[in-house]
Structure 1
């Protein structure tokens, strides 16, 4: 008869296990509410052994934050095939998958959690945003993005982040509607910028020319046209 024996883990394997356990706990509750004792119990080891691998909860939190940041940045990776609107909708689906699965952890990642003021945590959060912006710019096939396009993309990434944080507070708007609305928001931001800049106008027209009649961007035009009868009749004016 054989008796079950706990397998001894190597240093890196144990570290990765603790990061995974901590991330799971941080995903369900605010990191401020999770103790080292809980992490140790969930990992099946003693409290002193946790401190053998991490000097404190802050360092373990930042390690878990790094894993979460890498995973979240990966949600913005999308094959550069098909219409842009459809690609962005898939990206938003994966983004909200992460938000849905790691609610408190996502909030802690974006708001800083117990690592508020930490240069390491702030750098990781900024890295997620930069990776997301880089992915979106790549989909637009623009080698040297003009300043207005960078503003649009950065503004949209920030909007997606703040929208997700607000959605977590009660989930009062259906998730699928928010995903589509954010894709529409991107189109609207780009269209407004195009009204002020010829280079942006050329980019927007090129994108729209590749959009199908049943795509997300076309859906936005349909919804906006439905507002026509109730819109005030104001003659167009050219800004000075």
Structure 2
């Protein structure tokens, strides 16, 4: 090294920083490849460390690393639905779905693995992590409806819609991310509105929640747009009344 050569400063990473580094490397790999196709050597290479160092932080091997990475991804997914209680609920839902679909787009294969699991990595712990995401998403949605202790029908409706979002996201990936994310988002918001209205016809709690939510909607919002497109179709069934 010559006198004028720059001096490189190395900083020893803390335990949490190193663990975070390894998790980020694992998540980047899991985003585009199935967990069973990834080895600890791959993670070590991605993070620029040795294989023994990966084992030092994850002595349980790939399964422990996968569960930790899954938990980290789950936390990020849960935060997608954490929307400020401002404006019409459908607008809030649209913003949450924008973040959710951006996560799906970014993680791609890893998202499929997260929801579908696999014989190599699926355990009761991984199943609980994924179910935790679904429950947290449902709680956020119910909170935007100002419901803290939902009855069976409303709770079931919201959980069914979460399942619809998951299924639609997986199909979206299989179909080459078509239609575009904005169209998929709008369709999912409309599915939520339609499901709520259908349940409201049978459940007074849901009917009250729907009326309260509709009072916040605007003429240029998702509900008004859906109503304008649906009413002519429903009108064809007027002779059945």
Unaligned runs of 5+ in 2: none
Distance in 1 of aligned mates of 2:104 and 2:178: 15
What RMSD, in angstroms, separates the aligned Cα atoms of the two structures?
A: 1.7
Superposition map of 1:1-240 within 5 A: 1-4=5-8, 6-55=10-59, 56-113=61-118, 114-116=120-122, 118-169=123-174, 170-227=176-233, 231-232=236-237, 234-236=239-241
Distance in 1 of aligned mates of 2:210 and 2:137: 20
SS at match of 1:227: helix
Q: Which runs of 4+ in 1 moved over 3 A?
A: 231-234
Kept in 1, the 8 Å contact 2:35–2:121? The answer is no
- Residue 138 of structure 1 and its aligned partner are, at CA, apart by 0.6
SS at match of 1:29: coil
Q: Using structure 1 for the length normalisation, give the TM-score.
A: 0.91
Aligned residues: 234
- Residue 225 of structure 1 and its aligned partner are, at CA, apart by 2.4
Unaligned runs of 5+ in 1: none
- Residue 142 of structure 1 and its aligned partner are, at CA, apart by 2.0
Q: Using structure 2 for the length normalisation, give the TM-score.
A: 0.91
